[in-house]
Structure formats: C-alpha cells, structure tokens
Amino acid sequence: MIVLQLILYCILFTLMVKFAVRGGAIDGLYFYPKIVQDKAIEIGLTDRETMNRKRKGFMTLFYIVMTAALVLIIYCWNPVSDFKTAYLQALLFLEVMNIYDGIVIDKIWVGTSKFWILPGCEDLPYIQTWAQVLKKRSLLALIWVAGAAIVALLVVLVGNL
C-alpha cells in the first residue's frame, strides 16, 4: 500500500510542477539557474517582479497542497496518529519526493524535453549536472528531516481534534 501512496504522491508533485508552468516554461523561470533568469529578464521574456510573484504564489500553494496531501495520507489513509510513526512515514515520503524531483523532474523531464528551452536562452546551462543534483538533494534531505517533524506534528494535532 505504501508504494502506491508514494507513487500517487510523486504524481501529485508532477502535477504541481505542470501547474506551475501551465502558461509555458517562462512561468517557472524561478526554477532555473540565476544566469538563465537574468538573461530571460534582460531579453524581455518577463520581469523580476513577475517572476518573484509567480515563485511566491506557486511555492505557497505547493507547500500547502503537498503538506495537506501528506497529512491526509498518513492520518486518514494509513491511519497513524502517534508522532514517531507519523514522523517516519513523513520522512519517507519527503525523501522519496526529493529523489524523484532530482532524477525524474530535473534530469529526465527538464534534461530531455524541449519544453524547458527558453527562446533566447538556448546557449545557457539550465540543466543541472549530476554533481549539482547530488548537492541540492543532499541539502534538501537535511531540510526534510525538520519538515517531517512538522508534518508529524500536524498529524498528531489533527488526531487530537
């Protein structure tokens, strides 16, 4: 059952990314390296204020949706109400999502799809190297240790309502 839940959680993650770029890759400019952001702004594809507004709006929605989904999976579907079990499940989901993001989204989808190529920025490196993916995912793995505690706390709080 947990494997199915992990797959569905990663599908939700993918749908959230797809939602972020529903108007084209330029809508997700904040996902790109700074050099690409600067060039896209310089050539007039967007402006920094618009990019930052889209980043803030998407990231807020993303964290709300992904956290709510995780709490629902752990508390309602599994059902878990103690902190330790909720923490371990949350950590598993967040770390699998982290690896999925690095490999499937960053390396496979972004790395092989022409969708992510911004006009006028074709010559700039926008695909992360394996070293960059490993560095970013390692840092996020540490962040998700704390994030899992927050999710577990929410699961316990929901259970006490």
The tens place of each residue's pLDDT in the chain, 161 residues long, gives 999 999 999 999 999 999 999 999 999 999 999 999 999 999 999 999 999 999 999 999 999 999 999 999 999 999 998 999 999 999 999 999 999 999 999 999 999 999 999 999 999 999 999 999 999 999 999 999 999 999 999 999 999 88
User: What letter represents residue 45's amino acid?
Assistant: L
CA 147 to chain CA mean position, Å: 13
The torsion angle over the Cα atoms of residues 111, 68, 56 and 15, rounded to 10 degrees, is: 30
- Asked if 90 contacts 70 with a C-beta cutoff of 8 angstroms, the reply is yes
At 161 the pLDDT is 82
Who's near 5: CB < 8 A, 6+ residues apart?
73, 77, 78, 93
CA atoms within 13 A on the CB side of 6: 16
